[in-house]
Amino acid sequence: MKLLRSGLLVLVVFSLLMLPWPGLREASSAVFRAVFNATFALAGWSEVTFHPQLMHVVSPDDPTDTWTLPADEIVIGFAPFAVFVALLVGTPVGWSRRRRAFLFGSLLLYAYILVRLLVMLWLAFWGHTSFCPGAHAGQGIEHGSARWFVRRALETFHLEPMVYFTVPVLIWIVAVFRRSDWSALSSSLSGRQKLEG
């Protein structure tokens, strides 16, 4: 019964977060742009800037050579965050533990989103040595080669919709659960099996 209540709470919280509340998406998009504009600037990649639903890239070799990539802040940033928060709210642990898990999980989500943005860049500029040193043009990759598998893996990571949900779930598991929790769960399951046996 507790598991059912927790599952329903997760669904309700996620649904509420994903509703088009006035100002929520605009605020979350603004936070996304501010954080990652600052991140890329601090990393020395000021050629990469974020605008509403867009990533703007200026070639370091030629300032007149520019690209614009689609970068939906809601899909890339807010949706994974909403999944993580919903799972956290539905987890039956104390609030002090939830707060610690929220901070740690937020850092892991930030790292995941950053990696995702870097993968987007690497795939978009495959063969452009200024952004992807050592990369080769996608058309010249032999099917089944190591480079082909790397590109396919990165494309799956970037394009597969299930990644948007599985990664926040993994982050929730890492951020919330302790070794003692798994030991207790294992003991509970083994005890139940003995009773059923």
Q: What is the pLDDT of residues 36-64, one digit of tens each?
A: 999 999 988 888 899 998 899 887 777 77
Give pLDDT, residue 44: 87
Tell me which long-range contacts 129-137 makes (C-beta under 8 A, separation of at least 24): 130/59, 130/60, 130/61, 131/57
Whole-number percent of the chain with pLDDT over 90: 39
Tokens of 177: 């659960």
Edge-to-edge order in the sheet of strand 48-51 = 48-51, 54-58, 66-70
Residue with tokens 């870097």: 118
- Quote the pLDDT of residue 92: 87
Do 73 and 31 contact (CB within 8 A), yes or no? no
Burial class (CB in 10 A: 0-12, 13-18, 19+), 163: middle
Is 80 exceeded by the pLDDT of residue 191? Answer: no
Contact at 8 Å (CB) between 132 and 147?
no
Specify the pLDDT at position 118: 87
Q: Which pLDDT does position 153 carry in this prediction?
A: 73
pLDDT of residue 69: 84
The pLDDT assigned to 184 comes to 62
Mean pLDDT of 77-84: 94
Q: Is the pLDDT of residue 183 over 90?
A: no
For 155-160, what is the mean pLDDT? 70
What's the token pair of residue 157?
């990571």
The DSSP bridge partners found for residue 56 are: 49, 68
User: What's phi and psi for 115, nearest 5 deg?
Assistant: -60, -40
The residue among 180 and 139 whose pLDDT is bigger is 180
Q: Is the pLDDT of residue 172 over 80?
A: yes
Rg of the chain over all Cα atoms, to the nearest angstrom: 21
If you average pLDDT over residues 102-121, what whole number do you get? 92
Round the average pLDDT of the chain to a whole number and report it: 80
Q: Are 32 and 18 in contact (CB under 8 A)?
A: no
pLDDT tens digits, 9-36: 999 999 999 998 889 889 999 999 999 9
Residue 191 — left, alpha, or beta (φ > 0 → left; ψ -120 to 50 → alpha)?
alpha
